[in-house]
Amino acid sequence: MKKELEKRTVTGPDGQTFEVEPLIDYYCEAHPTVQPPAYSKIIENLFNWARSESIWILGFGTGCGAIEMRPLMTPRFDAYRYGIQWRPTPRQANLLIISGYLSVKTLKRVIRSYEQMQSPKYVIGLGSCTINGGMYWDSYNTIKRLDDYLPVDLYIVGCMPRPEALLEGFNTLKRMIRAGNAEGANTYAANFDWYKTNQKRVIHDWDMPDYNW
Query: Which residues, numbered 102-141, are part of the site for other proteins (CB under 8 A)?
Result: 103-105, 108-110, 112-113, 116, 118-120, 131-133, 137-141
Residues 124, 97 contacting (CB under 8 angstroms): yes
Describe the chain by its helix, strand, coil percentages, rounded to 5.
Answer: 45, 15, 40
The least CB distance from residue 78 to other proteins, in Å, is: 5
Report helix, strand or coil for 11.
strand
Does the protein bind other proteins through residue 143 (CB under 8 A)?
yes
- Indicate which single residue of 41, 70, 89, 179 sits in contact with other proteins (rule: CB under 8 A): 89
The least CB distance from residue 133 to other proteins, in Å, is: 7
The least CB distance from residue 63 to other proteins, in Å, is: 15
Residues 110, 150 contacting (CB under 8 angstroms): yes
- Indicate which single residue of 41, 92, 168, 175 sits in contact with other proteins (rule: CB under 8 A): 92
- Give strand ranges (E) for the chain: 8-11, 17-20, 56-58, 85-87, 95-99, 122-126, 154-156
Burial level of 71, CB count in 10 A (0-12/13-18/19+)? middle
What residues from 30 to 69 belong to the interface with other proteins (CB under 8 A)?
A: 30, 32, 35, 38, 46-47, 50-51, 53-54, 59-60
The least CB distance from residue 116 to other proteins, in Å, is: 6
What residues from 149 to 208 belong to the interface with other proteins (CB under 8 A)?
A: 198, 201-205, 207-208
